[in-house]
Amino acid sequence: MLISIDNVLTKTEVAQFRAELDAAAWIEGARTAGTLAKAVKRNQQIDDASALATRLGQAILRRLAETPLFISAALPRTIYPPKFNRYAGGGQYGAHVDSALMYLPGTSEQMRTDLSATLFLAEPDEYDGGELEVEGPFGVQAVKLAAGGMVLYPATSLHRVTPVTRGARVASFFWIESLVADEGERTLLFDLDQSIQQLTPLVAPDDMRLVQLTGVYHNLLRRWAKA
């Protein structure tokens, strides 16, 4: 399941992020890549331990906590602190699959990566190329969202970022461990929740059809969630 979420950040917030990121020191992204990924990763990143990355990452996490569509789709248990990258001058990231387990920074605690997320911080007309291509059961989906928009997709997916031939593609990226590990179960819960949300304004709050559907949702979540 690939889901786009518009306006996670406002245009004003994106401009504020970019003013700071554009003036920041960037390091080679290959430094943080695994053994195989080093060969296909050509980008730049902000030092994860920097005060800037920490502060902007926390702002993103606060906004995600207020974004119902994200909560419905991800059912987050743990979110890896957001990171920031930049692709320019032919920069790209070849086909790869994200690591299944990651240590949370500064701890000995591991998290499972169920979902990957990219939050776009550059408008599509600012750069050529730079599409996020995600392979799935129905072929390859190319994603290039407006600044402030975010895409969620299974971390199990083979994916890549195509070469940026003009301008710069700036984004935040991170991973989510979901309360519901199984993608199929999570998709069913998302579809059911969205149907309930669409029905809610159309019927009375005590309409038994809505009450029963809501009960089914929570009982399935109770069955499948691993807290």
End-to-end CA distance of the chain: 22
Residue with tokens 């819960």: 189
218 annotated to bind ligand: no
Judge whether 63 is annotated as a binding position.
no
> In the chain, helix, strand, coil percent, each to 5?
35, 30, 35
Separation of alpha carbons 61 and 140, rounded Å: 29
CB 73 within 8 A of CB 3: yes
For 104-143, b where at least 16 C-beta lie within 10 A, e where not — what string?
Answer: eeeeeeebbbbbbbbbbbbebebbebbbbbbeeeeeebeb
Question: Residue 203 and residue 4: Cα distance in Å, rounded?
Answer: 28
CA distance 150 to 70: 9
Cα gap 67→76, rounded to integer Å: 12
State yes or no: 125 annotated in a binding site.
Answer: no
* Two structure tokens written together for 182: 């199984």
Q: Is 42 annotated as a binding residue?
A: no
Q: What's 146's DSSP letter?
A: P
Residues making up the annotated binding site are 96, 98, 159, 169
Residues making up the annotated binding site for 2-oxoglutarate are 169
Residues making up the annotated binding site for Fe cation are 96, 98, 159
